Amino acid sequence: MNKTAVITGATSGFGLAAAKLFAQSGWNLILTGRRSDRLKQIKETLSPQTKVLTLTLDVCDTEQIKTAFNSLPPDFQSIHLLINNAGLALGTEPAQQSDLAQWHTMIDTNIKGLTSVTHALLPQLINTGKSASIINIGSIAGQWPYPGGNVYCGTKAFVEQFSLALRCDLAGTGVRVTCLAPGLSESEFTLVRTGGDTEAYNALYKGTDAIQPEDIAATLLWIAQLPAHLNINQLEIMPVSQSWSPFAVHRH
Task: List, by residue number, the catalytic residues.
Answer: 152
The only residue of 46, 120, 135, 141 in contact with ligand 8X3, by rule CB under 6 A? 141
Hey, how many other C-beta atoms are within 10 angstroms of the C-beta on 205? 16
SS3 9: coil
Rounded Cα distance between 59 and 9, Å, is 9
The only residue of 68, 79, 86, 177 in contact with ligand NDP, by rule CB under 6 A? 86
Interaction of residue 60 with ligand NDP, rule CB under 6 A: yes
Which residues contact residue 178 at a Cβ distance below 8 angstroms, ignoring those fewer than 6 apart?
A: 133, 134, 135, 136, 163, 223, 231, 232, 233, 234, 235
Interaction of residue 166 with ligand NDP, rule CB under 6 A: no
CB-wise, 26 or 196, nearer to ligand 8X3?
196
Q: Which of residues 8-47 bind ligand 8X3 (CB under 6 A)?
A: none
Minimum Å gap between C-beta 181 and ligand 8X3 is: 8
Interaction of residue 85 with ligand 8X3, rule CB under 6 A: no
Interaction of residue 83 with ligand 8X3, rule CB under 6 A: no
In b/e form, how buried is each residue of 76-112, taking b as 16+ CB within 10 angstroms?
bebbbbbbbbbbbbbbbeeeeebeeebbebbbbbbbb
SS3 246: coil
Interaction of residue 237 with ligand NDP, rule CB under 6 A: no
Interaction of residue 59 with ligand NDP, rule CB under 6 A: yes
Interaction of residue 192 with ligand NDP, rule CB under 6 A: yes
Rounded Cα distance between 217 and 189, Å, is 16
Cα dist from 28 to 19, 33, 60, 179, 215, whole Å = 9, 17, 25, 22, 21
Selected range binding ligand 8X3 among 22-30, 127-135, 136-144, 224-232, rule: CB under 6 A: 136-144
Question: Which residues here bind ligand NDP, judged by CB under 6 A?
Answer: 8-15, 33-35, 57-60, 85-88, 109, 113, 137, 139, 182, 184-185, 187-189, 192
Question: Which residues here bind ligand 8X3, judged by CB under 6 A?
Answer: 139-141, 149, 183
